[in-house]
Amino acid sequence: MSGELLGFAAGVLSTFSVVPQLIRVFKLKSAREISTLFTLMLLLGIILWLAYGIYFMLLPVILWNAISTVLVGTLLAAKLKYGRSSTPETEKKSHRHQD
């Protein structure tokens, strides 16, 4: 496996690893179990990686971290929308769909 292919695979996996969590949050309309601090720190770290990539003009770093910024930003927005309270219906769905 070439270095570029390895980097591409790492970028795809780490960038899109948040997608299953996003799907779950929007499906259940619940994000209580997601840490706001974790999500904020992750988003800030990704933004710093994006700035690093821009500074050194590293296209793969820019690409994957730009996508990650959108995905994790969406997760943070979902956390702020769905993370504070739950309805009895949300509770039932959450217990039925435990991973």
pLDDT in tens, 55-80: 999 999 999 999 999 999 999 999 99
Percent of the chain with pLDDT over 70: 84
Q: 59-82 vs 3-16: helix axis angle to the nearest 10?
A: 10
pTM: 0.81
Distances (CA, A) of 18 to 9, 31, 91, 94: 15, 13, 22, 18
Helices (H), the chain: 3-16, 19-28, 36-55, 59-82, 88-96
Domains of the chain: 3-96 (1.20.1280.290)
